[in-house]
Amino acid sequence: MGRDGWTHSLNKPFSDSYCAINLASIGAIMALLPPPPAHILDLGCGGGWTSAFLARAGYTVVGQDIAPDMIALAQETKALHHLDDRLTFICGDFESLDMDGQFDAALFFDCLHHADDERAAIASAYRALRPGGILITHEPGEGHSTAPGSIEAMRLYGVNERDMPPHLIIAQGRAVGFRDARVVPMQHELMAIFYDSKVPRLFSEAAWLRAKRVLTAAFRPSHRDSAIVVLTR
């Protein structure tokens, strides 16, 4: 990733062009988590900015990633924010973790769609949770795998870029034992409705379309689009 990429990661989310959406997204996830000092497993944490963000909010966090260089970067992120007492990182495959019943919540933040076997990854999270614990996923929906950016990432880095819509996550979650599921709109959708466009004239077609999107997001969120999913053990 080079020194520039390393520095960029150390300063996320504030160094990122998607800073606003990343802050909104992690805020939404924090609103869904049990309150601090709950124990959180941050799966596929990369350079560790999400883990550090949660630890700074008072959570006790274990961040996991398969790449040793990402764990090294995450350790530097931890040192930067003086989080020795609340943050630990481990290197391993999230499809085969052995951490039974240790956590109040687990999180896949934009990483489950890289899995070779999403059921195995979700089963690892299930085993890691205490009874009543929750798994939160923040993942792209249908069409992600064929998007130009995804195709380019697969070509450059050899990573999986798979569709990971709510209906797939829920089906796999129920198969491994999760008993309840909830779908919540991503902040991308809410920002597109309320922040990225002008307020339409009342009774116009544009106003009707916006109202339809709001009602759908509130009462019937899509199980095919990008979304946050909350599964309860």
Distances (CA, A) of 167 to 2, 3, 5, 108: 37, 39, 34, 16
**Tokens 């924090």 -> residue:** 30
**Tokens 């799966």 -> residue:** 43
Q: Are 55 and 61 in contact (CB under 8 A)?
A: yes
Q: Is the pLDDT of residue 27 over 80?
A: yes
Res 197: pLDDT: 74
Tokens of 88: 């630990």
Res 85: pLDDT: 92
Q: Is the pLDDT of residue 1 over 80?
A: no
Average pLDDT score over residue span 71-75: 97
Q: Is omega for the bond preceding 221 within 30 degrees of 0, making it cis?
A: no
Average pLDDT score over residue span 180-199: 91
Res 199: pLDDT: 86
Tokens of 193: 């409705």
Q: Which of 22, 11, 1 is nearest to 191 (CA)?
A: 22
> What is the rounded CA–CA span in Å between residue 100 and residue 131?
11
Res 157: pLDDT: 85
> What is the rounded CA–CA span in Å between residue 125 and residue 108?
9
> What is the rounded CA–CA span in Å between residue 191 and residue 137?
19
Q: Is the pLDDT of residue 12 over 80?
A: yes
| Average predicted confidence (pLDDT) for the chain | 95
pLDDT level of residue 16 (50, 70, 90 thresholds): very high
> What is the rounded CA–CA span in Å between residue 25 and residue 225?
16
Q: Are 94 and 120 in contact (CB under 8 A)?
A: no
Distances (CA, A) of 25 to 19, 21, 143, 151, 190: 10, 6, 20, 24, 11
pLDDT level of residue 70 (50, 70, 90 thresholds): very high
